[in-house]
Amino acid sequence: MPAARHRGKDDVLDSARIARAVLGLRLDQLCWPRAGGTRTAIRVLVSARDQMSTERTKMINSLTALVRGVDLGVEARKALTSAQITTIAGWRTRDEDPATAACRREAIRLASRIRTLGHDLAANMAELRRFTAAEVPELLNLPGVGPVVAGHDPACLVPSRSGAL
């Protein structure tokens, strides 16, 4: 079969492989490979949320490391609170040595970015809640299932209302 490798990718071959792979599955076990409308919006929102959450965590970790390593007047032995982050974001530059001033500017930038990401995540959650409530309300009624869990892949969790692929 080495000669088959040199032919490259073939849509007909891919289609046959996919068909064989799903032969034993029930209709409710299949996912829509490309959903449109609300399901696409949910996928995009969940993906964006994951990215924003990861970025926000990195920013918080960076800010924490900065205020623990440089004396900027912040008590940072424990995790930074929202109030501390808000205070840092509101700082103004001071007349101080250039190294401390650079650290202060970076702390302000990080804190501001953390706050912006927090607002963006809240807006994302509101939109995700609205879309998942419209698409999969039955999942949101389950204990422990919120918009993020319900939105990770609603096409796989609940069969399509039309029942057709």
* Three-state DSSP string of 94-145: CCCCHHHHHHHHHHHHHHHHHHHHHHHHHHHHHHHHHHHHHHCHHHHCCCCC
Interaxial angle between packed helices 38-69 and 82-89, expressed in degrees from 0 to 180 and rounded to the nearest 10: 80
Distance CA 84, CA 76 (A): 9
What pLDDT is attached to residue 47? 93
Residue stretches of the chain with pLDDT short of 70:
1-11, 30-36, 153-165
What pLDDT is attached to residue 4? 52
Q: Where exactly are the structural domains of the chain? A: 2-157
What pLDDT is attached to residue 49? 96
Contact between 132 and 140 (Cβ < 8 Å): yes
